[in-house]
Structure 1
Amino acid sequence: MQTVSILGVPFSKLSLDETVNELHHRLDRNDPQLFHLITANPEIVMNARKDSELRHIVEQADMITPDGIGIVLASRFKGEPVPERVTGYEMLLRLLALGHEHGWSFYFLGADEETSKKAVDIIKNQYPGLKVAGRQNGFFTADDEPKLVEQIASVKPDLLIVAMGAPRAEKWIFKYKSQLSAKLAMGVGGSLDVIAGKVKRAPVVWQKLNLEWLYRLLRQPSRWRRQLVLPQFAILFLLKGRKS
């Protein structure tokens, strides 16, 4: 698999279609080791530079996809372009459709209880061919984790979908990856919120203009502090990015 390094993070150069096909093949192979997929945006890249634990997790990931227009633009500037954004939400929808077709089993972890239940009910109705191996909201304590890990391992899901936000999802998956008995695990951020209708995704025109980040900021002004990482990422990439 070809990758391009953006500030030390190796991003896959596969398109969305190619990524989904690759994941399909890996699921069919029945590899005993969990495949850890990370969808990374500039925020994760910048966090990995100052968080040694996250940096190690990123280095050990099986695949990292470019979830953010900043990553796409940086790759083009470097002369090693990725074909497009490959977001967690879009990938999840494609995997759910394939799960319906092939009878894959899913375990959903994260979001609040109401959102988790509503999203999973919608998924069951829209994709009746897939199996829901279980679900658990994201409000659990460290003391709850051994039992939760045991529960997930007991049902052996094909896919573990973790909607707990970054980097919590990535750290949780990595911590327990050898115990989960899942074939593939990925963090999907607020995807269950979108499926449940709690959060609206940007209209298609905003998505096509790569302004989804601005749409979210306008609807949730409290996100402005998080958006400060974008100019920091751009400046750092211009200073160091072409060599890393």
Structure 2
Amino acid sequence: MKQVVKIMGIPFPKITMDETLDKLSRVIEQNNSELYHVVTGNPEIVMACQHDRQLRSIIDEAGLITADGIGIVMVSQIRGGSLPERVTGCDLLFKLLEEGNKKSWSFYLLGADEATSKKSAEVIAQTYPNVSVVGRHHGYFKPEEDLEIVNEIQSLAPDFLIVALGAPYAERWIHKYKDDLNARVAIGVGGSLDVLAGKVKRAPQLWQKLHMEWLYRLMKQPSRWRRQLILPRFAWKAIFYRESNSSN
């Protein structure tokens, strides 16, 4: 069992991107009937888990939690745990597509608007020709449409179910239907389909290397400022959090 670092009670394994890919490759090869839920854990999810017991139980039951954001990694370093690197939903999606192109994996895309969903499937077909997008559905569906979508995913049995419904809604949706989806791995990836489709541009490599991608996104999308307010709150609480206070 890999060592873990607890951030406000949430156990993050000390795992790199390459190790994550290797782990998920083995999950696909093992072909287990049980869905493997990957949570890309960002500060918002960690903070929400402090008062949302249902979400916390979902996170506790997940197969893998990755460090989605430099804030998670930096807090781990300050607290002496030192997670090796970020494993964000967006980066992981692109890595899975690259690996899937070598291994002929299949994907189902759930989320974003219809135009973005369609464009994402087209980009995958052009860039990763050996990857199969066996199905897709936009994210603007009503609760009464859930079962129709679940039945479609079940019949298509994708290797990977990519859920771009936003956190923590994606995590709740995956968990609610995990016994019926008939996918090997399900991952919530936030707005990654927007990036894949070219609707939203990622920060240049230099900004990413400096761990300032959040600032670049804020400059490009000033409307995100309210959402970004959680970052300093998370950092303060997480650094001084006493893990023994966790009831889980």
Which bin holds the TM-score, normalised by the shorter protein? over 0.9
- Confirm whether residue 29 of structure 1 aligns to residue 30 of structure 2: yes
> Is contact 2:139–2:165 with CA below 8 Å preserved after alignment?
yes
Is the partner of 1:50 in helix, strand or coil? coil
Report the secondary structure of 1:133's partner residue.
Answer: strand
Query: Secondary structure of the equivalent of 1:4?
Result: strand
User: What amino acid does structure 1 have at the position aligned with 2:190?
Assistant: G
In the alignment, what sits opposite 2:208? 207
Counterpart code for 1:143: E
Aligned amino acid, residue 47 of structure 1: A
Distance apart, 1:51 and its partner CA: 1.8
TM-score by length of 2: 0.95
Letter in structure 2 aligned against 1:225: R
Name the SS of the counterpart of 1:154 in structure 2. Answer: helix
Q: Aligned equivalents of 2:223 and 2:210: distance in 1? A: 23
- Work out the percentage of aligned pairs sharing the same amino acid: 53
Counterpart of 1:117 in structure 2: which amino acid? K
> Which runs of 5 or more structure 2 residues have no equivalent in the other structure?
none
Aligned 8 A contact 1:115 1:198 in 2: yes
SS at match of 2:49: helix
Equivalences for residues 66-85 of structure 1 within 5 A = 66-85=67-86
Distance 1:231 1:109 in 2: 31
Aligned residue in 1 for 2:181: 180
Kindly report the root-mean-square deviation, in angstroms, between the aligned alpha carbons of the 2 structures.
Answer: 1.1
Equivalent position SS for 1:240: coil
| One-letter amino acid of the counterpart of residue 121, structure 1 | E
**Matched letter for residue 46 of structure 2:** V
Specify every segment of 5 or more residues in structure 1 that has no aligned partner in the other structure, as ranges.
none
- What is the one-letter code of the residue matched to 1:184? V
Change (3 A) 1:218 1:241: farther
Query: Could you give the per-residue CA deviations for residues 56-110 of structure 1, whole angstroms, max 9, x where no partner exists?
Result: 1111111000011111011111211111101111111111112111111110000
* Within-5 A mapping of 1:31-180: 31-180=32-181
- Distance of 2:117 and 2:83 partners within structure 1: 33
Contact 1:78 1:242 in 2 (8 A): no
Paired amino acid for 2:83: V
Give CA deviations for 1:117-146 in whole Å, capped at 9, x if unaligned. 011101011111111110000011111111
Q: What is the deviation of 1:238?
A: 2.8
For the residue of structure 1 that corresponds to 2:50, the secondary structure is helix
Preserved contact between residue 78 and residue 239 of structure 2 (Cα < 8 Å):
no
TM-aligned CA deviation for residue 241 of structure 1: 4.7
Structure 1 runs of 4+ aligned residues shifted over 2 Å read 241-244
Q: Does 1:13 align with 2:27?
A: no
Structure 1 residue 239: Cα displacement: 2.4
User: C-alpha displacement at 1:242, in angstroms?
Assistant: 6.0
Equivalents in 2 of 1:108, 1:26: separation in Å? 19
Contact conserved, 1:6 with 1:241, CA < 8 A, in 2?
no
Q: Distance in 1 between matches of 2:226 and 2:53?
A: 22
Query: How far, CA to CA, are the matches of 2:187 and 2:53 in structure 1?
Result: 20
